[in-house]
C-alpha cells in the first residue's frame, strides 16, 4: 500500500483527520513505475501536477552555467519533492530517480480544489514545503562550514534519521543507491576525494558504503564528525 508512505509522513508533522487524508488519497493517480535515472520533472517545465514518491529514491539537481551539476537533496518514500510547483509554476531544478521508483501524481487542479475545501490540509502541505526549506538550510550549513569528511558524515546521519522515521533502517543499515560521482555532486567535492573519504571511514570503522548499502559502524563518531542535530521541530 505505497500511498500510505505519504500519509505516514504527513502525519508525522500535522494533525489531520481521516476525512482530510481520504480526500488527499482520492486525488492521487495510480502509481507509475519509473526506472533508475529517469527524469520525473525537468528544470524549466511548467508543472501541472506534483508527485509523491511511494517507494525508491530520487534527487533534485540544478546545473550551474559552468556545466557543473549540484544535487540539492535526496528523497525517499513519502516525500513530495515537487510540491512547490503548485504555486511556482516554472520548475527551477530537475527531479530524477536514483533507483527504480513508484510515483503517484496529484494534478494541481485537484490539489487546489481539495485545499480550498479543507484548509487544514492546505496548511499541512504548506508545512511540508517548509520542512523542505529546513533541510535546504541545513544543507547550506553543511556545505559552508564542514570539511569533506564532515559533509559525508552529515549526509549519512541525515538520511539515517529520515529513513529511520519511515521504517527503512534495519540493523543500522540502509539502502542508498547512489554512485560516488553523485555523492560528489551533492557535497560539492570531487569524485576522487569522496572516494578517499569513504575509504578512510571504512578503514577507521566509522561506516561502510558498499554495493549501494550503508552500514553504520560507529554512530557516535558519525554524529560527531557530521555534527548532525536531529533538530526536532
Q: Give the residues lining the site for a second copy (CB under 8 A).
A: 60, 62, 64-66, 68-70, 72, 84, 87-90, 92-93, 116, 119, 122-123, 126-127, 129-134, 136-146, 150, 185-188, 227, 229, 231-233
| Contact call for residues 44 and 132 (beta carbons, < 8 A) | no
Cα three-residue angle 51-57-59, rounded to 5 degrees: 75
Write down the least CB distance from residue 211 to a second copy, Å.
Answer: 26
| Contact call for residues 13 and 126 (beta carbons, < 8 A) | no
Q: Which is nearer to DNA, 203 or 233 (CB)?
A: 203
Separation between Cα atoms, residue 216 and residue 233, nearest integer Å: 25
26 binds, options DNA, a second copy, none, Cβ within 5 to 8 A by partner type: none
Distances in Å between the alpha carbon of 70 and those of 9, 115, 121, 185, 192? 26, 33, 32, 5, 17
92 binds, options a second copy, DNA, none, Cβ within 5 to 8 A by partner type: a second copy
Phi/psi at 227 (nearest 5 deg)? 55, 40
Q: Which is nearer to DNA, 141 or 192 (CB)?
A: 192
113 binds, options DNA, a second copy, none, Cβ within 5 to 8 A by partner type: none
198 binds, options a second copy, DNA, none, Cβ within 5 to 8 A by partner type: DNA
Write down the least CB distance from residue 195 to DNA, Å.
Answer: 5
- Cell numbers of 27, please? 486525488
191 binds, options a second copy, DNA, none, Cβ within 5 to 8 A by partner type: DNA
Q: Which positions lie near DNA, rule CB under 7 A? A: 147-149, 179-181, 188-193, 195-196, 198-199, 210
Phi/psi at 52 (nearest 5 deg)? -125, 125
Q: Which is nearer to DNA, 108 or 196 (CB)?
A: 196
Nearest to 181 by CA among 79, 70, 66, 60: 70
Write down the least CB distance from residue 196 to a second copy, Å.
Answer: 19
In sequence order, the 6+-apart residues with CB closer than 8 A to the CB of 130 are: none
Write down the least CB distance from residue 5 to DNA, Å.
Answer: 26
Amino acid at each position: 500500500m505505497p500511498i500510505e508512505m505519504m500519509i505516514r509522513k504527513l502525519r508525522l508533522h500535522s494533525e489531520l483527520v481521516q476525512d482530510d487524508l481520504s480526500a488527499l488519497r482520492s486525488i492521487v493517480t495510480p502509481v507509475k513505475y519509473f526506472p533508475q535515472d529517469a527524469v520525473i520533472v525537468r528544470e524549466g517545465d511548467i508543472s501541472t501536477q506534483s508527485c509523491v514518491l511511494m517507494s525508491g529514491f530520487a534527487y533534485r539537481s540544478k546545473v550551474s552555467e559552468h556545466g557543473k551539476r549540484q544535487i540539492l537533496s535526496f528523497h525517499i518514500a513519502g516525500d513530495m519533492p515537487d510540491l512547490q510547483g503548485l504555486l511556482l509554476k516554472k520548475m527551477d531544478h530537475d527531479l530524477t530517480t536514483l533507483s527504480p521508483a513508484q510515483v503517484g501524481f496529484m494534478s494541481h487542479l485537484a490539489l487546489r480544489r481539495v485545499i480550498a475545501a479543507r484548509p487544514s490540509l492546505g496548511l499541512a502541505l504548506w508545512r511540508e514545503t517548509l520542512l523542505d526549506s529546513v533541510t535546504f538550510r541545513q544543507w547550506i550549513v553543511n556545505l559552508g562550514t564542514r570539511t569533506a569528511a564532515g559533509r559525508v558524515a552529515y549526509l549519512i546521519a541525515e538520511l539515517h534519521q529520515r529513513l529511520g522515521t519511515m521504517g527503512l533502517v534495519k540493523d543500522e543499515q540502509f539502502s542508498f543507491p547512489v554512485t560516488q560521482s553523485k555523492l560528489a555532486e551533492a557535497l560539492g567535492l570531487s569524485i576522487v576525494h569522496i572516494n578517499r573519504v569513504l575509504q578512510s571511514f571504512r578503514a577507521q570503522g566509522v561506516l561502510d558504503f558498499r554495493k549501494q548499502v550503508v552500514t553504520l559502524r560507529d554512530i557516535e563518531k558519525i554524529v560527531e564528525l557530521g555534527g548532525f542535530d536531529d533538530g526536532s521541530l
